[in-house]
Structure 1
Amino acid sequence: MSVKHAILGFLYQKPRHGYEIKTEFEQMVHKQWPLNTGQIYTTIDRLVRDKFVEPLEGEDQDRKQYMILEEGKKELLDWLLQPVERSLFKDEFYFKLLCAQKINYQDISAMINGQKAKTMQSILQMTRVKTTLNETKEAAMLLLLEGSLLHLEADLRWLELAEAAINSK
C-alpha cells in the first residue's frame, strides 16, 4: 500500500491534519491496517517537498492542515490508473518452501500445516470483519474483504496441493 497515495486521497476530499488522516484511514479499513503517525508526517514532509501538497497559511503549528495541489491531484489520478503487479515469487512462504527443499528439510509437512493453520485463522478473522461490515453496507470495503477471502481460500487450496505433492514422494 502506498501511504503517499492514501494521504493524497484524503487530501483530495478536503484539507486535513496528519492525525485526522491517521484516524480516518484506520476507520476506513476498520483498523485492519494500522498506520504509524510518524510515517504519516514523514510522508507529508516529502509530499510538501515534491510540491504535491502544501500547509494552509496561518495554521497552528501543532495541528497544521495540508491541502492537495494540482500536481498532487495529477499524481493521485495517475496512480489510480496504474495496474498493480502481483509477484508471487516474493511471497515469504513460497521462498521458505524453496529453501526447505534446497536443504532437504525433513519437516516440510509441519511447515505447510503451520501455514494452513495461519491461513485458516486469517480466513476466520476476515469473515468476522465481513459479518460486521455487512450491517454497515460499505460496498468498497466489502469488496476488498471478499477479494482477500478469495486469495486466502486460493492459498489454502495451494497448500493442500503442496502437501499432497510432498506426501506422495
Structure 2
Amino acid sequence: MSVKMGVLALLVGGPGYGYQLRGEFEHRTGGSWPLNIGQVYTTLDRLERDGLVARGDADDDGHVVYTATDAGREAVARWFSEPVPAKRGRDELAIKFALAVTVPGVDVPRLVQVQRGSAMRALQDLTRLKRTTDPADDLAWSLVLESMVFQAEAEVRWLDHVEASVTRYMPPAARTVLDAERATAAPVEGTVR
C-alpha cells in the first residue's frame, strides 16, 4: 500500500497533524503496518510539494495541521475507484525456493516443512486474534486481519504446490538423497510426517 495515499485519505476525512495521522493510520490498520513518524512527515512534505495537501497554521499545542486540497481529494477518489495492481516482482519466499531448487545441497523438502510450520503458527495466531475481534466494533481492523488470514492460507497452499513440484520434477538422484536425509531428520515442531 502507498503510505502517501493512506495519509492523504485520512486528510480527506479531516485536517490533521503528523502524530495524529500516524496514530489514526495504525489504529485503522490494527497496527499491522506501523509507520515511522519521520516517514509521515516526509510524506506530508511531498504531498504539499505535489499540491495535494496544504499546510495550515499551528494549533494551540503547536502542531502544524494539514488539510487535503481539491487535487488531493480527487487523487483519493481516483485511488479508491481503481483496482490495486496485483503484486508483482520481488517475493522473498518465491526467490528463496527458486534458488533452493538450483543450489546443490539444499534440503528443499525440509525447507518446505520449516516454512509451512511457520506459516501454520502465524495462521493459528491470526485465527485466535480473529475470534477476539468483532467487525461491528472495528470493521477496518477486521478487514485487515482477514486479509492477513487469507495471505497465510495462500502461503500454505503455495507451499503444498512447491512440495508437489519438488517431488514431481526434481532429478531423481537429488530427490533420493533429500528423501533419505528427510527420513532421518527430526520433524519440525507443529508438522506431521
TM band (smaller chain): 0.7 to 0.9
Measured after TM superposition, the shift of residue 127 of structure 1 is 1.6
* Structure 1 residues 76-131: Cα deviation after superposition (integer angstroms, max 9, x where no partner): 11111221222355321111111112223431122212211221122123223322
SS of the equivalent of 2:106 reads coil
| Residue ranges of structure 1 left out of the alignment (5+ in a row) | none
Alignment of 1:1-169 (within 5 A): 1-57=1-57, 59=59, 62-87=62-87, 90-134=90-134, 137-167=137-167, 169=175
- Greater relative contact order structure (CA < 8 Å, 6+ sep): 2
Q: Given the two structures, how large is their TM-score scaled by the length of structure 2?
A: 0.78
* Structure 1 residues 2-59: Cα deviation after superposition (integer angstroms, max 9, x where no partner): 1111111111111100000011111111222111100000000001111111111354
Task: Identify the structure with the greater helix proportion.
Answer: 1
- Which of these two proteins has the greater Rg computed from alpha carbons? 2
Change in Cα spacing, 1:124 to 1:10, as seen in structure 2 (3 Å) is: same
Indicate conservation of the 8 Å contact 2:28/2:140, yes or no: no
The CA distance in 2 between the partners of 1:58 and 1:41, in whole Å, is 15
The CA distance in 2 between the partners of 1:68 and 1:135, in whole Å, is 29
Change in Cα spacing, 1:141 to 1:52, as seen in structure 2 (3 Å) is: same
* Aligned structure 1 segments of 4 or more residues deviating by more than 6 angstroms: none
Change in Cα spacing, 1:2 to 1:135, as seen in structure 2 (3 Å) is: closer
Q: How many residues align?
A: 169
Indicate conservation of the 8 Å contact 2:58/2:65, yes or no: no
- With 17-26 and 50-59 compared, the bigger mean Cα shift is at 50-59
